[in-house]
């Protein structure tokens, strides 16, 4: 959720806050940096989580990295900080992706209905939360506050995993 809040309004952040002459081109650069970091973290995180057999530490790291990315944009609104944030966000989301499906299958009670249950979870993950959160925050505050809210959502999501007793 927090990742979508952070990325949905990134083009507007680049144009409105950073005042970049080519926000579309800048967004492309950030997306490519993000994707590279995401792919690397997803590959490495998947190998590591399977090797150590634990999920919670990876979710915690993922949430912390993504929150750090959002706070970087909130506190240091510069192009260089946006590049750093793209790396952090990519590493965080890639790490999350590496454990997401494994964690879900670990907690689902019935192996016979896992496919159905994963489909429901996947559908719920794509609810339009980001535009609603963005609208609510931006109607009363600015982009810095939006990225602080995104960081809080990311950390809350990571913390929620620690409430699941069956997950290592």
Where are the domains positioned within the chain? 2-161
Model confidence over 10-55: pLDDT tens digits? 999 999 999 999 999 999 999 999 999 999 999 999 889 889 888 8
Model confidence over 128-161: pLDDT tens digits? 677 888 889 999 999 999 899 988 888 887 887 7
- Homologous superfamily assigned to 2-161: MFS general substrate transporter like domains (1.20.1250.20)
Task: Please name which of 127, 109, 150, 120 lies closest in space to residue 9, comparing C-alpha atoms.
Answer: 150
104: Cβ–Cβ under 8 A, 6 or more apart, which residues? 117, 118, 121
Tokens (6 digits) for 88: 């952090």
Return the pLDDT at 168. Answer: 58
CA 64, CA 27: separation in Å to the nearest integer? 23
Tokens (6 digits) for 126: 């794509």
Q: pLDDT over 90 for what percent of the chain?
A: 48
The conformation of residue 162, written as its DSSP 8-state character, comes to: T
């Amino acid at each position: 959720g927090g990742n979508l809040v952070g990325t949905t309004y990134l083009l507007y952040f680049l144009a409105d806050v950073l005042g970049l002459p080519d926000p579309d081109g800048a967004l492309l650069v950030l997306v490519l940096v993000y994707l590279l970091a995401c792919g690397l973290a997803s590959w490495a995180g998947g190998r590591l989580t399977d090797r150590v057999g634990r999920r919670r530490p990876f979710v915690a790291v993922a949430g912390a990295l993504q929150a750090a990315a959002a706070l970087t944009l909130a506190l240091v609104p510069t192009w260089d900080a946006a590049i750093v944030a793209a790396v952090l966000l990519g590493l965080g989301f890639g790490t999350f992706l590496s454990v997401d499906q494994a964690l879900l299958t670990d907690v689902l009670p019935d192996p016979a209905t896992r496919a159905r249950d994963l489909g429901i979870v996947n559908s719920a993950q794509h609810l339009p939360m980001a535009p609603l959160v963005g609208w609510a925050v931006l109607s009363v505050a600015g982009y810095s506050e939006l990225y602080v809210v995104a960081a809080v959502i990311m950390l809350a999501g990571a913390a929620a995993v620690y409430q699941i007793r069956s997950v290592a």
